[in-house]
Amino acid sequence: MKKTWKLDDILPIGQFGNLYREIENDLEKMRKYVGELKPDISKEKFKEILEFSEEEEEKMARLGGLPGLMEAVNQKDAEAKLLKSKVENLALRWSEVGIKMSLWIKGKRKPKLDDKNAKRIFGVITDLEYGLKRSRLLAKYSLPEHEENIIVNKDVNGMGVLEELREMISAEMEYEIEIDGKKKLIKTQSELLALVYDPRDEVRRVAYQALLLKQKENLPKFFAIYQAVIKDWNYEMKLRGYKSAIAVRNLANDIPDEAVEELLGSCSKNRGIFQEYFIWKAKELGKEKLERSDVYAPIVKKEKKYTIEETKELVLGSLSQFSDKFYKFGKELIEGQQIDWMPKTDKRSGAFCATISPKIKPYIMLNFTGKQRDVSTLAHEAGHGIHSMYAAGHYPSTQNASLPLAETASTLAEMILFEEILLREKDGEIRKAMLSDKMADAYATVCRQNYFILFEKEAHKKVPQGLRAEDLSDLYFKNLKDQFGESVLVSPNFRYEWSYISHIFASPFYCYAYNFGELLSLGLYARYKKDPKIWRGRIERILEVGGSKNPNEMLRSVGIDIRRPGFFQESFDIIAGWQKQLTKI
Ligand SMILES: [Zn+2]
C-alpha cells in the first residue's frame, strides 16, 4: 500500500508550464468577455461568460493546488514555493479582470446592470443564482474599481507580507527545554506543542513555559503586527460601511449577526460544563487544582495503538453505518491514492482535507502515528472529503459548503466512530480516557475558540484607541480568568498566549467557524440519532447542496432555525452528557 498521495490527477508537474500559459491566454478572452457585459446582454452570452469563468476557476484551482499540496508535505520544497509565487502573480492579473466582472454584476460598473435585467439573466444557471444575487446584495459594501484594485494589491503586498513575516518570526524560534536534568533543543513550534499532550506533568509545563517565554521575548514584534492587522481591518470596515468589525466576517459567511451573538452568548453561558470537567480531571490526576498546562493531559498512561489497516477498517465500518454513499465515497478516498499518511521532516503538522475541484477527488494529509486521536482524525477528514464528493455535481464556485455547514459530514463521521469504539471497548480505563480526550477536544473547539472571538471583539474595539502590548495582554488574561473561573490555575505567563494564535492575525474572527460548525453538527447528529430514517435523508440533502444555497434557508427547510434562542443548547446537552458518563465510570 502506498502511504503517499499521487497528485497527478490535479496536474502532472511537467504540465504546469502549459496550463500556466493556457490560463494566461484565456485572460485575453476573459477581457474581451468583460467588454461584452451590458444590461441587454443575451442570456446565452451571459451563460457562456459564466461558464468560461467557472472553467478558469477550475484551472486556477489546479494550478495553485499542486504547489500548495507539495509544500504541505515538504515545507522546504523550493520548487513548490516558486510555482506558488507564479500562481500568485497570475491570480493578481486575473483578479483585475474578475473585479470588473464582479462590479458589473453588482451594478457598480458601466454600462450599469439594472435590477430588472439582473433578474432576467441571473437565473441562466440555477446553480450560480444564489451567488449572483448575493453579490448584488453586498454591492453596497464595494468601492469603485480603482480602489478595489488598490486594496487587492495592498492585501497581497502589504498585509500578506506582514503575515508571512509573522510566520517567519515563529518559524525561526527554537526552544530550549530541560527534562529530567537533560537539555534538549526543539526546533519547531509544532514539535513543542505536541508535548502539551504528554503524560508527564513536568514535560507539559516546561513546553508551555518555553513557548510563552519566546512569545514574551518577541512581544513587541507580534504586537506591532497585530496592531497593523486590526487597524487595517477596521479602516477597511469603515471605508466599506460595515456595522462592526465582526460584521465583516459574518457577512462573508452569510450568517446573520443575531445567530453569531446567540452562539457567543450560549458558549459563554455553558463554560461551566468544561469547568466541571477540569475539576473532575484534577481529581483524576491526583491534584488539588488543575494547572493550565494539564488541560490536555491524557489521563491513562497505557494507550491503544492502531495499525493503518485497523484504522481503515474501523473508519470504513463506521461510515457504512450512516449510509451506502458515505461508505462508497469513503472507500474511494481511503483505499485510493488520495492520502499522505505518515509524519516526515519538514511536513506540515496536523491534518487537513483539500478539495481542488468537483472533477478531482479530494486529498487528505495526515500525520499518522497510530494513536486513537489519529483514527478519529482520519474519520473527520474523510468526512470533509465525502462532503465534497456529495457536492461534486456543482460548479467549482458552488461545490464547497458555506461555513456553518462545512463541518457537518466531518463531525458526523467522527461521532459515529467515537460512539462505535466506545461501545465496543470493555476496558473501563480506556473508555474513561476516550471520554476525557473527547471533553478536552470539545473544550478546544468550542469554548476556547469562543473566547478567542470575545478577545478579538475587545481588541478590535480598544487597539484603535491606543493600547500598549502589556494592556492587550492584560485584556487577554482577564479573558482567560473568565473562561476558566476558579477551576484552573493559570500561570501569569499565559497573558502572552494571544500572540501565537495564528487565526487572529491571519483571518480575524475566523475562529467561530469552529464552535459554530461543531455545535451545529452536534445538533444535527443528535437529531439523526433520535430519528435516523428521516434525518439521514435530510443530512444527505444538506451535503448535496454544497455552497449553492443560503445556509440559513437550507437549514430552515429541514426545520432548523439557527437564530432561535437556545438552539445551541441541545448540542451542549450532548457535551454535558459525556461529562456525566465520565463521572459515572
Ligand atoms: Zn474539520
475 CA to middle of ligand 1, Å? Answer: 29
Q: What is the pLDDT of residues 362-373, one digit of tens each?
A: 999 999 999 888
Would you give the distance in Å from CA 368 to the centre of its chain?
Answer: 20
DSSP character string of 324-382: HHHHHHHHHHHHTT-EE-S--TTPPSS-EEE---TTS--EEE----S-HHHHHHHHHHH
Kindly tell me if the per-residue pLDDT of 303 is higher than 80: no
374 C-alpha to center of ligand 1: Å? 14
Please tell me the distance between residue 330's alpha carbon and the centre of ligand 1 in angstroms. 15
Cα 554 to ligand 1 centre (Å):
20
Residue 48 makes CB contacts below 8 A (sequence gap 6+) with 33
What average pLDDT score do residues 498-503 get? Answer: 95
Label residues 317-348 b or e (16+ Cβ within 10 Å = b).
Answer: ebbeebbeebbebbbebbeebbbbbeeeeebb
Alpha-carbon span 496 to 147, nearest angstrom? 37
How many CA atoms, within 13 angstroms, populate the side-chain half-sphere of residue 407? 22
**CA of residue 381 to ligand 1 center, whole Å:** 6
For 496-521, what is the mean pLDDT? 94
Q: How far is the CA of 349 from the centre of ligand 1 (A)?
A: 15
User: Binning pLDDT at 50, 70 and 90, where does residue 322 land?
Assistant: very high
Q: Could you tell me the distance, in angstroms and rounded to a whole number, from the CA of residue 506 to the centre of ligand 1?
A: 18
Mean pLDDT, rounded, for 235-242: 96
3-class DSSP state of 160? helix
Separation of CA 351 and ligand 1 centre (Å): 9
Which option is the CATH number for 308-428+520-549: 1.10.10, 2.60.40, 3.40.50, 3.40.390?
3.40.390
The CATH fold assigned to 7-142 is Butyryl-CoA Dehydrogenase, subunit A; domain 3 (1.20.140)
Domain 161-301+430-506 class, CATH top level? mainly alpha
Given a cut of 70, is residue 334 above it in pLDDT? yes
Model confidence at 278: pLDDT above 80: yes
Give 353 Cα–ligand 1 centroid separation in angstroms: 8
Return the closest-CA partner of residue 298 out of 273, 281, 317: 281
- Ligand 1 centroid to Cα of residue 252, in Å, is 19
Dist. CA 445–CA 281, nearest whole Å:
18
pLDDT band at 156 (very low <50, low <70, confident <90, very high): confident
CA of 94 relative to ligand 1 center, distance in Å: 30
pLDDT by residue (tens digit) across 281-295? 999 999 999 999 999
Spacing, Cα 200 to ligand 1 middle (Å): 29
Distance of CA 515 from the midpoint of ligand 1 (Å): 11
Task: Average the pLDDT over 62-80 and give the result.
Answer: 95
Mean pLDDT along residues 13-35 = 97
SS3 percent helix, strand, coil of the chain, rounded to 5, is 70, 5, 25
Residue-level pLDDT at 2: 85
CA of 114 to the centre of ligand 1 (A): 40
Handedness of CA 28, 399, 386, 448 (dihedral sign): positive
Q: Is the pLDDT of residue 534 over 80?
A: yes
Contact 471, 260 (CB under 8 A): no
For the record, the C-alpha cell of 96 comes out as 483585475
Distance (angstroms) between ligand 1 centre and the Cα of 324 equals 22
Between the CA of 513 and the centroid of ligand 1 the distance, in Å, is: 10
Which sequence spans correspond to the domains of the chain? 7-142, 161-301+430-506, 308-428+520-549
| Local confidence band at 78 (pLDDT 50, 70, 90 cut-offs) | very high
Question: How far, in Å, CA of 450 to CA of 470, rounded?
Answer: 22
Q: Which contiguous run of DSSP H or E holds residue 55? A: helix 43-73
Give the whole-angstrom CA distance, residue 349 versus residue 343.
8
Q: Determine how many CB atoms are found less than 10 A away from the CB of residue 305.
A: 10
For residue 301, the model assigns a pLDDT of: 64
Residue 165, pLDDT above cutoff 80: yes
Q: Provide mean pLDDT across the span 128-153.
A: 93
pLDDT score of 189 more than 90: no
Mean per-residue pLDDT, 547-558? 92
Q: pLDDT value at position 585? A: 82
Residue 407 Cα to ligand 1 midpoint, Å, equals 5
pLDDT range class, residue 550, cuts 50, 70, 90: very high
Which amino acid would we find at residue 155? D
What is the distance in A from the centroid of ligand 1 to the CA of 96? 32
Q: What is the distance in A from the centroid of ligand 1 to the CA of 266?
A: 21
Ligand 1 center to residue 384 CA distance, Å?
Answer: 7
pTM, rounded to two decimals: 0.89
The mean of the pLDDT values for the chain is 94
